[in-house]
Structure 1
Amino acid sequence: MSEKALRDLNTIPGTERKIESSSKVGLTKPPVDNSEENIEEWQKKKNYAPLVSPPVNGSQTVSSGVEIGNAEVEYIESENLNDLEDVDTCLKTLLAELDSKDWVLVCDALNNVRRLSIFHKETILDILGDVIAFVTKSLKSPRSAVCKTAIMTSADIFSAYNDLIIDLLDPLLLQLLLKSSQDKRFVCEAAERALVAMTTWISPISLLPKLQPYLKNKNPRIRAKAAMCFSRSVPLLGAEGIKAYGIDKLIQVAASQLSDQLPESREAARTLLLELQHVYVKFQDLMPATVSEHPEMGSWENFCQSKLSPLSAQAVLRVTSIAREGLVS
């Protein structure tokens, strides 16, 4: 560098040099204004593209500029899905696409599973086990777009196939309980909706035995989600179904959840106990014949005390006494 240039540089005030330097660094930073237009422009300059496209036709989307490429994924609600144009061609490539390493192709395949379940459910009955295995694999994906699409696929499978998938349910159920327990809100909420669909479309007599082991899971969040599913499913049995399943068994399950770690478990247990008390009091045929002959021995209090430990019975009666007092008044 010449002496003249050095002298010119030295004559520049320090503050101006700092401003010039900071302006150069600022070229690599996102704009302070967080408007979608400015963020999108910055993404283009940095050769980034959103993972998920902006909302189209009311679909729910989430965008994040973290990957190079122009791939777009839409979260389309079931009622907005269109039928397939070529079912046979879709079926020929479905399993391969579900197992693809291209995550965008996997999302498209998952949406095709949803379309087939809604519009052509008989066509994949023969490969339903393989389909559910790949859906379960996608539920484990670290990529949120794949995971959420798989969750939505699970809900449509429950709606379409009901009890036909009961023997294939276990791995799917575990992943949905895990996803509904995690911290990513939009994934968690989607998983909770899928679990509601599960309790709606799969018969409780088939579902309750599948849920019961998770009530004792080491993970308190999984216990809580399972307890909520259990509590939603039992009333769907109806009075006769509760009698057949065993009201004493159901009371014991609910009582064990009253002292659980998380409030969701305890609230689900309280809801279930109030339902069981209502059924027990209203439908006398749920009581043994010997008790029916001696009503004073067949009270709710005596029934609980005969089926539970003293501490558990006391906790159950404390929860249900408020409801009983309301019925009396």
Structure 2
Amino acid sequence: MTSETALRDLNLLPKSERTNETSSKDILAKPYVEPSDENVGEKQRKNTVSLVEPPVNGSEVGHSGTDVVVAEVEYIESDKLNDLDDIDECLKVLLDGLGSKDWVLLCETLNNVRRFSIYHKEALQDILDNVITLVVKALKNPRSAVCKTAIMTCADIFKAFGDTIVDSLDPLLVQLLLKSSQDKRFVCEAAEKALIDLTIWVSPVLLLPKLQPYLKNRNPRIRAKASMCVSRSVPRLGTEGIKDYGIDKLTQIASSQLSDKLPESREAARSLLLELQTSYEKSPVLAPEQETPSDEPLVYSWEQFCESNLPKLSAQAVLRVTSSITQEAPVSGL
């Protein structure tokens, strides 16, 4: 799927994702109908972190006066996931499980994808494209339980496969930017963490071109999350990598975000500009040849570099930011 196709998803948030919902760090709950039981109420009172999601299609609870019984599904951190008991059997049913309409089974299967990524990533290699397609579908699921588990699955896939998933990254990236920009806090936090993992495990040379289109998205929250990803990714290039990638191009990108609507975008731009200034001063650009010969080559200062590569007003804005940061640096160390 191309970036252009994926971008269309940015404006298609389901209404069900706009509803307020209690967040849960550890346990999710699925309702189903069962005859009244005195212990049910007591169990629900004890599970203060349980999340009872309403039926998506309105058909799961069909009778009034019935009690809701909780089926628990855990959000398990990666370092606490145990290995698979039967690798071959799990692999046989993996794609079917990812396509299941039973959301509890789907969450369990997503966790198995995470286990494969952590312990047996080579077993996923041949079906990875199909797995990613179904994970994208799970990211779009209106149930927050499925959505968050799918987000956690993305993070483990990034760590396991790194640069090898770049060709399949677009649909994952667009969904993670969406989820990190929505109102459900526990989903938003999981998506932000997955985006951080993305900037860690995927090479910035490959990732930055994927992020750039989102810096111009009409949704300011999407732009802010993309700006933050760019700001985290660029330092991993190193001084020589920044120079090779194009410090002029990166400076223009950062400059464009300085006047953005949200403070997160502007803060990310300031952080990026400081990184670029530091990198530039380690390896400055040579000035054009002067009419008067000189024994030492002349170089552009940071100010001259900005003025030669940016419109006048943009250059002034960049220099105000970088000069103020430079002047404040010694004070902060006192």
Fold conserved between structures, TM > 0.5: yes
Equivalents in 1 of 2:43, 2:108: separation in Å? 17
Question: What is the TM-score normalised by the length of structure 1?
Answer: 0.79
- Amino acid corresponding to residue 202 of structure 2 in structure 1: I
Written as runs of structure 1 = structure 2, the 5 A alignment for 1:24-43 is none
Q: Aligned to 2:317, which of 278, 292, 315?
A: 315
Is contact 1:254–1:272 with CA below 8 Å preserved after alignment?
Answer: yes
Q: 1:209 to 1:62 in 2, by over 3 A?
A: farther
**2:51 counterpart residue number:** 63
In the TM superposition, residue 146 of structure 1 has moved relative to its aligned partner by 0.3
Post-superposition Cα deviations, 1:281-302, rounded to whole Å, max 9, x if no partner, equal 1233xx137478113xx01111
Is contact 1:224–1:265 with CA below 8 Å preserved after alignment?
Answer: yes
Equivalents in 1 of 2:312, 2:318: separation in Å? 10
Q: 1:50 to 1:96 in 2, by over 3 A?
A: farther
In the TM superposition, residue 197 of structure 1 has moved relative to its aligned partner by 0.5
In the TM superposition, residue 77 of structure 1 has moved relative to its aligned partner by 0.2
In the TM superposition, residue 69 of structure 1 has moved relative to its aligned partner by 4.5
Written as runs of structure 1 = structure 2, the 5 A alignment for 1:190-205 is 190-205=190-205
Equivalents in 1 of 2:238, 2:147: separation in Å? 35
Written as runs of structure 1 = structure 2, the 5 A alignment for 1:1-329 is 54=47, 62-64=50-52, 66=54, 68-284=68-284, 287-288=285-286, 290=288, 293-295=297-299, 298-325=300-327
Q: 1:77 to 1:327 in 2, by over 3 A?
A: closer
Q: 1:185 to 1:326 in 2, by over 3 A?
A: closer
* Larger Rg computed on CA atoms: 1
SS at match of 1:72: strand
Q: 1:328 to 1:289 in 2, by over 3 A?
A: farther
User: Between Structure 1 and Structure 2, which shows a larger proportion of helix residues?
Assistant: 1
Q: Which has the higher contact order (CA 8 A, sep 6+)?
A: 2
Q: 1:94 to 1:312 in 2, by over 3 A?
A: same
- Amino acid corresponding to residue 64 of structure 1 in structure 2: V
**2:19 counterpart residue number:** none
In the TM superposition, residue 171 of structure 1 has moved relative to its aligned partner by 0.5
In the TM superposition, residue 309 of structure 1 has moved relative to its aligned partner by 0.2
In the TM superposition, residue 64 of structure 1 has moved relative to its aligned partner by 2.5
SS at match of 1:293: coil
Post-superposition Cα deviations, 1:16-44, rounded to whole Å, max 9, x if no partner, equal xxxxxxxxxxxxxxxxxxxxxxxxxxx95
In the TM superposition, residue 323 of structure 1 has moved relative to its aligned partner by 3.0
Is contact 2:286–2:298 with CA below 8 Å preserved after alignment?
Answer: no
Post-superposition Cα deviations, 1:197-238, rounded to whole Å, max 9, x if no partner, equal 000110101100000000001111000000000000000000
SS at match of 2:230: helix
SS at match of 2:73: coil
Post-superposition Cα deviations, 1:101-125, rounded to whole Å, max 9, x if no partner, equal 1000100000000000000000011
Equivalents in 1 of 2:245, 2:215: separation in Å? 17
In the TM superposition, residue 63 of structure 1 has moved relative to its aligned partner by 2.0
Is contact 2:75–2:149 with CA below 8 Å preserved after alignment?
Answer: yes
Q: 1:115 to 1:328 in 2, by over 3 A?
A: closer
In the TM superposition, residue 71 of structure 1 has moved relative to its aligned partner by 2.0
**2:24 counterpart residue number:** none
Count of matched residue pairs: 277
Unaligned runs of 5+ in 2: 1-35, 56-67, 290-295
Question: What is the TM-score normalised by the length of structure 2?
Answer: 0.78
Higher mean Cα deviation, 109-118 or 64-73? 64-73
Equivalents in 1 of 2:105, 2:83: separation in Å? 18
- Amino acid corresponding to residue 277 of structure 1 in structure 2: Q
Post-superposition Cα deviations, 1:63-121, rounded to whole Å, max 9, x if no partner, equal 22746444221000000000001000001010011000100010000000000000000
Equivalents in 2 of 1:71, 1:328: separation in Å? 56
Equivalents in 2 of 1:118, 1:280: separation in Å? 39
Q: 1:130 to 1:49 in 2, by over 3 A?
A: farther
Q: CA RMSD in A?
A: 2.4
SS at match of 2:158: helix
Q: 1:258 to 1:283 in 2, by over 3 A?
A: same
Post-superposition Cα deviations, 1:121-163, rounded to whole Å, max 9, x if no partner, equal 0001111011011111111111010000000000000000000
Identity of aligned residues (%): 64
SS at match of 2:126: coil
Is contact 1:98–1:110 with CA below 8 Å preserved after alignment?
Answer: yes
